[in-house]
A = this chain, B = another copy of it.
Amino acid sequence: MEDVKEMTADVKKNIEEKKPLKKVLVICARGTLEDVYAALIMANGALSEGKEAKMFFTFFGLDAITKAKADHLHTATVGNPAFMRSLPTMVGGLPGFEALASHMMKQEMDKLDIPPVTEFLEMIEAGGGEIYACKLAADMFHIKKEDLVDEVKDIITVGQMYDLAEGDGVQIIYV
């Protein structure tokens, strides 16, 4: 009986012990350069630590996995008071400024060896990550499978997305 008590105690201990994070499901619903990179970095960081990573792109986030747009995302300068604080907000709206800000941000990222979006998606897929597009958003923006980068595994519903979050030690991160 002692033996059994220890066993159940052991099971109990296992339950109470620090459980590692095993998987992240990153939902990317925004299409600005900074939000898309944040989502990619969250997913890639998990893969680097030996965790699973699934990505679900929806709403304006779809741009990040659309062939024609993935490498042409922009920074949200207008309406983003955190960007270039010293300039009056209006300046952010001047034609050309947003392109300049996006260019500067891309340069900084390049210096830190952060790859362009399409390369980043390839890296994530090569690292075992899975990339999905949202069916509802694809329908809304009239986007088809062939418009999306090759790394996209499938176009799935929100319900199917929730299936990806099954298991223990899973976190949904909505960027």
Residues of A within 8 A of B (CB): 1, 3-5, 7-8, 11-12, 14-16, 18-21, 24, 27, 29-35, 37-38, 41-42, 44-46, 48-49, 51, 58-60, 63, 69, 72-83, 85, 88-90, 92-95, 98, 102, 108-109, 112, 114, 136, 139-141, 157-159, 161-163, 165-168, 170-175
Contacts and interface: CB of A to CB of B under 8 A. Distances in A.
A174 to B, nearest CB: 5
Nearest to A134: B41
Q: Can you tell how many copies of this chain the complex includes? A: 3
Given A45-B157, A60-B83, A81-B76, A112 B90 contact: no
Contacts of A49: 159, 162
A81 B98 contact: yes
Contacts of A44: 158
B162 A31 contact: no
Shortest 10 CB-CB distances between A and B: which pairs? A79-B79, A31-B82, A45-B158, A74-B81, A60-B82, A78-B79, A171-B172, A49-B159, A88-B95, A90-B93
Contact of A81 (B31, B85, B90, B94): B31
A8 B3 CA distance: 12
A88 B92 CA distance: 11
A110 B141 CA distance: 13
Contacts of A42: 158, 174
B79 A80 contact: yes
